[in-house]
């Protein structure tokens, strides 16, 4: 018996980034926060390969040494004892961050302009399965296989102009989340 797997597709009533469009750069703290709505879409109607290319997938080889990551990506623009930040990551996601425990990659994060909400929702649901929501936090997970281990993605919109997308190798880890948040606060 064939099971139909359902995915949630997040959609929003905000203007999204489209190819060739520059994300908004307004700093207004008074702008309303976007609200995500979910719709059920049969999995067999989604493309096998993701169509969205909002930003490049960050390096997710957890356990990789800090030296190897810097060798692959180049010298970072900012760093702390716990992490590094790369700027000019993509047009819609200007910052990519990586955190380390014992000099080994333990988490990654990307900041995406809040004006790209619809595009970000499409990007995430093409790659990951939504699993829960807690307040302003949305959680996604990949489908683990022999080739891929479990990966959690946490999505949050704070009181800023960016969505925070955090990648963790296991269930949401408060230590990794706090290290990524500390890096993000260096940018403000």
SS3 sequence, the chain?
CCCCCEEEEEECCCCCCCCCCCCCCCCCCCCCCCCCEEEEEEHHHCCCCCCCCCCCCCCCCCCCEHHHHHHHHCCCCEECCCEEEEECCCCCCCEEEEEEECCEEEEEEEEEEHHHHHHHHHHHHHHCEEEEEECCEEEEECCCCCCCCCCEEEEEECCCCEEEEEEECCCCCHHHHHHHHHHHHHCC
- Indicate whether 188 pLDDT > 70: no
Structure token digits, residue 51: 């169509």
Per-residue pLDDT averaged across 93-116, rounded? Answer: 94
- Indicate whether 124 pLDDT > 90: yes
Tokens 């683990």 correspond to what residue?
Answer: 144
Which tens digits make up the pLDDT trace of 39-94? 445 444 445 566 778 999 999 999 999 999 999 999 999 988 889 999 999 999 99
pLDDT of residue 148: 66
- Indicate whether 99 pLDDT > 80: yes
| Mean per-residue pLDDT of the chain | 75
pLDDT of residue 5: 25
- Indicate whether 28 pLDDT > 70: no
Query: Cα(96)–Cα(165) distance, rounded to whole angstroms?
Result: 9
- Indicate whether 11 pLDDT > 60: no
- Indicate whether 119 pLDDT > 90: yes
| Count of positions (residues) in the chain | 188
Per-residue pLDDT averaged across 105-126, rounded? Answer: 93
- Indicate whether 171 pLDDT > 80: no
pLDDT of residue 115: 93
> Which residues are within 8 A (CB) of 24 and not within 5 positions of it... i.e. 6 or more apart?
113, 114, 115, 161
Q: Which residue has the higher pLDDT, 121 or 145?
A: 121
- Indicate whether 9 pLDDT > 80: no
User: Do residues 39 and 8 make contact, with C-beta atoms less than 8 angstroms apart?
Assistant: yes
Using the CB atoms, write b or e for 146-161: b if 16+ within 10 Å.
eeeeebbbbbbbeebb
CA-angle at 80, arms to 75 and 85, nearest 5°? 45
């Amino acid at each position: 018996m064939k099971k139909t797997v359902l995915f949630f597709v997040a959609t929003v009533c905000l203007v999204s980034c489209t190819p060739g469009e520059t994300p908004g750069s307004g700093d207004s703290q008074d702008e309303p926060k976007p609200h995500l709505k979910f719709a059920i879409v049969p999995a067999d109607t989604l493309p096998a390969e993701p169509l969205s290319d909002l930003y490049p997938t960050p390096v997710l080889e957890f356990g990789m040494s800090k030296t190897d990551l810097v060798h692959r990506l180049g010298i970072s623009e900012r760093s702390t004892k716990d992490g590094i930040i790369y700027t000019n990551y993509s047009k819609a996601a200007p910052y990519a961050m990586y955190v380390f425990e014992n000099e080994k990659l333990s988490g990654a994060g990307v900041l995406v302009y809040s004006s790209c909400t619809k595009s970000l929702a499409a990007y995430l649901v093409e790659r990951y399965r939504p699993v829960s929501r807690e307040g302003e936090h949305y959680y996604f997970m990949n489908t683990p296989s022999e080739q891929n281990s479990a990966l959690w993605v946490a999505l949050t919109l704070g009181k800023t102009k960016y969505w925070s997308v955090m990648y963790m190798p296991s269930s949401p880890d408060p230590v990794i989340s706090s290290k990524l948040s500390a890096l993000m606060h260096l940018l403000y």
